[in-house]
Amino acid sequence: MIYKASKKEKTKRKCVIGIEGKIETPEYDDFLEGSFIIFDTPNLFHTIAIRNGEMFLVEVEIKEE
């Protein structure tokens, strides 16, 4: 399962992408409203996140173990 997760700690929100319960990205302030997880290949996807007012293209590769 792949998911976007967010958690509010005190006054700051932390957002990450997880795969099978494991965090796969650094923490971001938020995800761009209306953004989706878009698959480019069966094992590579991307979305848009925001940190300190900057937008980032977040790409994640799913590695088989």
Question: Which pLDDT value is given to residue 20?
Answer: 87
Bridge partners of 54, per DSSP, are 51
Count: domains in the chain: 1
Question: Which pLDDT value is given to residue 65?
Answer: 72
Residue 45's nearest CA partner among 25, 60, 64 is 60
- The answer to whether residues 29 and 51 touch, using CB atoms and an 8 Å cutoff, is yes
CA 50, CA 41: separation in Å to the nearest integer? 24
Question: Which pLDDT value is given to residue 16?
Answer: 93
Confidence of residue 39 (pLDDT cuts 50, 70, 90): very high
Residue 62's nearest CA partner among 8, 27, 17 is 17
Structural domain span for residue 39: 2-61
- Average pLDDT (38-47) is 96
Residue 36's nearest CA partner among 26, 24, 46 is 46
Question: Which pLDDT value is given to residue 2?
Answer: 81
